[in-house]
Every structure is written in C-alpha cells, then in structure tokens.
Amino acid sequence: MEWQATPYTLPLALAVVIGTVGAAISWRQREGRLELWAMGVQLSLALWSLFTLLTVSAVSLFWKRFWFALFLPTIPMLVVTTGLFTLNFVGRRDWLTRPRMVTILAFPVVTLALTLTDGIHGLFLTEVAVDRSGAFDELTYEFGIGMYVMGAISYGVAIGYNTMLARRVLRSRNVYRKMSAVVSLSTLAIGVVTVLSFTGLSPFPHFMLVPLIYLGIGVVLLLATGSVTFVRALPVDRLFAVVGSRFEDDVPLARDFVVEAVDNGIMVLDEEGRIVDVNSTAKRMLGLDRPIGDPLTTVVRPEWVLECDEIGPVLDGDEPVHELDDEVWVETPNGERCYQVTISALSDDEAAARAHVILLHDITDRKRREEQLEKQKETLRARKQQLEHQNERLDQFAGIVSHDLRNPLNVTSGYLELIDARIEDDTAAVDESELDEMKQAAERMEAIIEDALTLAREGKAVTETKAVGLAETARSAWETVATTDATLTVETDAVIEADRGRVRTIFENLFRNSVEHGRADVSVTVGDLDDATGFFVADDGPGIPDEQKEAVLDHGFTTSEDGTGFGLAIVSDAASAHGWDVTVTDSETGGARFEFTGVDRTDDDFRTADVRDGSPGPSPHAEVDNRPVDED
C-alpha cells in the first residue's frame, strides 16, 4: 500500500490522539452509563479523524474508497453516541427502552454494511475517482441518495439532542450550567461544520473540518472532564448575562435569588445520586466547598452523622435515594447541629423520578429548647414526687406522734401521776419497777423518734451520687451493729453509683434485723445477683413467712412488742430513693434474703478499692467475725 504526506497529516493525527486520550479518560472515570457514552463520543471523533487521515494519505483509488467507506459510518456513530450521552446527561434515560436502543444502535451498523458494499449498489457515492493534478492525490465523488438519507436522519437526531442540551443550560445553575454549555456548544459547532461539508462550502476535502475544529473542542472537553476548576473559570454566566438581558425575563434571575437567599439548604440529586445543584446555605450548613458532580455518599461522610434514622442507609449507599423525612444530628465546622432532612422526588411518581431535591432545615435551637423543656418537666415531676413523698412522710409522722408515741407517753404519764400521789403521801414509797417501766417508755420514745427522723431522711430523693464499694460499706456497717456471735461474709467486689450514707443505712438495718430475729450465731452474706444488675443480703435465720414477705417493708410492721416497725421500711425507702426495687425471698439456707435490682454499677476500674479514701480494701470474700477473742 502506497502512502502520501499531506498538509492534513499532522493535524489529523493530533486529533486522533486527543480523541483516544479523551476516550481513555472517560473510561477510567466511569461511574455509570453517562461516562460510557462520553467515551463513545470521544471514540467516534477519534475514528472519524483516523479514517479521514487514512483516506487522504492513501494513494490508490481502492484504498482511498475503502477507508472512506469506513469513515462514513462514524457520522451516525457520533450522532448516536452523542444522543445517548445527552439522554443520560439530562436525566432522560428512562426514554431508552430496549426496542428504542436496538433501533438507535442499528443506525451506524446498517450504515457500515451499506458503505462497505457501496461499490455494488452505489447508494452513497457516485462518480468516484482520484484527482492527481494537485500537490497530492485526492479522492473525488458525488453524493448518492444514501448520503442524503443518512444526513437527514443524523441532523434530525442532532436537532433533538441539541434542543435538550439547550434546555439543560437554561435550567441549570452553578458549575452544571457551565458544563452543560460546554457540551451544548461543542455539539452545536460540530453540527454546523458538517453542514458546510455536506453543502460543499468547506475549504477542506471530505468531512475534514470536524477533526480540525476538534483540535480546539477536544482540548476544552479534556480540560472540562478532568478539572472542575477549569469549568468554573469559563465565562458562561457573563455570556448569559449579556444575552439574557435582551429577553427581559426575570424569572430565572428571581429563582436563583430565592434559592440562594432562602434559609433552608437545598440540594438537587440526579438519578445516579450525584449532586447537580446546591445553594450556599446547604454548603454552609454541611461545611461543603465544591460538591457539584460528586455523589451524596462521598460528600456527606457517615462519620459526620451522629444520630439519624431513615437516611442512614441512603448515606451509607445501602439504599438508593428516595423520599423520606428524618431528623439528623451531624458534626459540622459550627459544632453539633440538628437538621430536618426532607427528600422529595421531582416527579409525581416516585418510581419514575429522575431527580430528587433535599431540603435541610436547621432545627438545632428548637431541639435544644425541647430538651430544656423536657428537663424542666423532669425537674417539676421530680419535685412533685418529692412533695408528695414529703406529704406522705408528714402523714406518717403525724401517725407516729398520734399513735406510736402516745402509748409510751401514756405509760409515763400514768406512772408520774402515781409517783405524784405517793409523794404527797409521805408514807408511800416509789416502786422501782415503776421507774423501770418509765425508763423503758422513754427509751422506746427515743427509738421511735430516731427511727422516724431516719425514715424521713432516707425517704428523700437521691440527688447526688458517687462510686460506692459494696464490700467496704457492708463491713463498715457491720462494725456499728451489736452482732455478738454473728458472722458476715462478703462475696462481692462491685462498685455502685449511690449515696454512700443511705447504702450504709440499708446494710445496718438489714444486719440488725438478721441479728434481732435470728440466732445469736446467725450468718449474713452480701453478694452479687446472678444477672449482675444488683446485690443481695441473706442470712441463715428462721426466715420470713410467705404471707408476711410483702408486708415486712411497710411502715410500722413489726412482730416484736418493743419494735418500732420502721427498720425494714427505712430499707425500702432508702432503696426507692435510689430508684431501686427491693424483693423479699428465701435464702438457700431457708433464711431471709433481700434482693436489690436496678442498681447502677460503675466501671471495673473502681472495683476492689476503698472508694472513700482511695486505698485498697480487704479481700471481697473475707469473713468478718465479731465474736470476742476469748470465745474462739
């Protein structure tokens, strides 16, 4: 095969390189069908330039006609790929049904079959020859009916996609308007120069004008594809400001002003979930810089989201963008903010929606006011409960004064009257037993008053807590109780969040109850519950009858004539003040067992330490024996 050098060799070869590079870049950046068809456009222009180069470089008629026959199908190929790219670019991919795709793709395939057999039927070229009179050999021909049919179909399709691109330019904002303008002007320029080639007005042979202007258009497309900064620098808005002023239409300007000035953040997503438009409010709310063109899942990082519900799977990419309404706490450069996020489809039919709009409304102040109001309500409820509790204590105290204290007072008053009568009668002597009765009555009144004060004190709600070691507190309480031959076994190293004084009161009253109602050598055990949500105090005494287990915690309940009936009631109130529940049951040895649940336990770091002074405590499983040394 003989070749010739022409003035068009270098420009055409450069156009081939630009088209090939553009196709490779589109392929590497592919995320969906849009980039795939963009690659098809660049590849079509590269093949257009290549076959034109081979046509003008060949010398023989056969090879010139062969390469030109391969060139002709690149015209419908460029039209088809540009049309498919446009449908994806403007969000009309739903129009591409399978029958339509087959019809569209058949256009360049049928053209290729006809051009390769054109020597037989002559539908595309007639009077084909080689002109060797000039500086280089040039293929000459006349267009047949097939060329005009192909041209008519191609221009019809081109008018359609150029119209869609123009509408996209007018309806877009920000960088998407500039990108749309670049694509629209490029396709329009290619369409115009092909008209010159079809009509014979082009100064260059064949359809060479397209590769030549592609040297400039291709570079612009490469820069626009690889750099958003380049697209932003294009003076498209300035051009629209000049052209748009002639139409006296303020609607787009007013729309842009409203979108930018509104307090709500606005983001528009295409069907691929990429951000195609965003106002300055949304950028400020989310701390974004240049999110246009990026997927929502990469712009809003999951680690920014502190709390959400429905939108979580969308941001993670597990679900496609769909209509929803959610409240989201996010970490922003301005601190933690709460946004009301509403996603709506830009269509009456969610399934057919090609785009979605996201509205962001900052409700942080409202949520914080709601939280403050809820805290105030909780405080009021707590105060109300405390007042009700105090009223109950007043009623109980009144009952104590009117009932429990009246009996010992009556005893004392009666004996005092007898003593007074005997003092008036010098012959009468004071019975020592009567003085003992008065002393016991006074001691009982003192015990009742002390228990009543303790009951009132322990029943108040716990407002301040700290880490309390159960083992250390139990041993400390055991030392204050007259336990004689009784023994204490501690089987816990738990540290709980509680009021130390009230926990000690609980242990003291339970230990005293075990000693007073059990044997002299009763054994008491303090340990953890199996589910580790609380603790228990158990003994091996006679236990509590089933019919009395619910009543033993009531105020005033006692089985002893000299008991006040407040010991276990104090235990119940101290536990309730912490929010704990107390259950009375049987121990493994048949004695009494008191279980405390709902107890808050602190970290393991606090365990086995004396929380009071910070020094290590004794072994949590050690036994405490209060028997005198000489009895061992």
Superfamily of domain 9-240 in CATH is Rhodopsin 7-helix transmembrane proteins (1.20.1070.10)
Residues of the chain with pLDDT under 70: 171-177, 224-261, 347-354, 390, 393-411, 415, 421-432, 434-435, 437, 440-441, 443-463, 532, 555-566, 603-632
Torsion angle in degrees (nearest 10) through CA of 454, 458, 459, 460: 120
Q: Which residue's structure tokens are 């709390």?
A: 307
pLDDT at 318: 83
CA gap 213, 478 in Å, rounded: 99
The CA angle 51-56-62, to the nearest 5 degrees, is 80
63-69-71 Cα angle (round to 5): 105
Residue 447 is predicted with a pLDDT of 62
Q: What is the distance of C-alpha 130 from the center of its chain?
A: 71
**Whether the Cβ atoms of residue 285 and residue 339 lie closer than 8 Å to each other:** yes
Residue 453, exposed/middle/buried by CB under 10 A (0-12, 13-18, 19+)? exposed
Residue matched to tokens 């054994």:
523
Q: What is the predicted pLDDT for the residue at 453? A: 62
Q: Are 404 and 556 in contact (CB under 8 A)?
A: yes
Burial grade of 293 (CB within 10 A; 0-12, 13-18, 19 or more): middle
CATH topology of domain 461-631: Heat Shock Protein 90 (3.30.565)
Residue 440 contacts residue 448 (beta carbons within 8 Å): no
What pLDDT is attached to residue 48? 92
pLDDT tens column, 144-197: 999 999 999 999 999 998 888 888 777 666 556 677 777 888 888 888 888 888
SS3 per residue for 362-402: ECHHHHHHHHHHHHHHHHHHHHHHHHHHHHHHHHHHHHHHH
What is the DSSP code (8-state) at residue 404?
Answer: I
Half-sphere exposure of 455 (CA within 13 A, CB side): 25
- What's the pLDDT at 289? 75
The residues, any chain, with a CB within 8 Å of residue 123's CB and separated by 6 or more, are 114, 144, 145, 146
> What per-residue confidence (pLDDT) applies to 332?
81
Place of tokens 């020597």: 119
Predicted local confidence at residue 156, as pLDDT: 92
Q: Which helix (H) or strand (E) holds 275?
A: strand 275-278
Which of the listed CATH numbers 3.40.50.300, 1.20.1440.230, 3.40.30.10, 3.30.450.20 matches domain 258-362?
A: 3.30.450.20
Residue-range domain boundaries for the chain: 9-240, 258-362, 370-455, 461-631
pTM beyond 0.85, yes or no: no
**Token digits of residue 486:** 């009784």
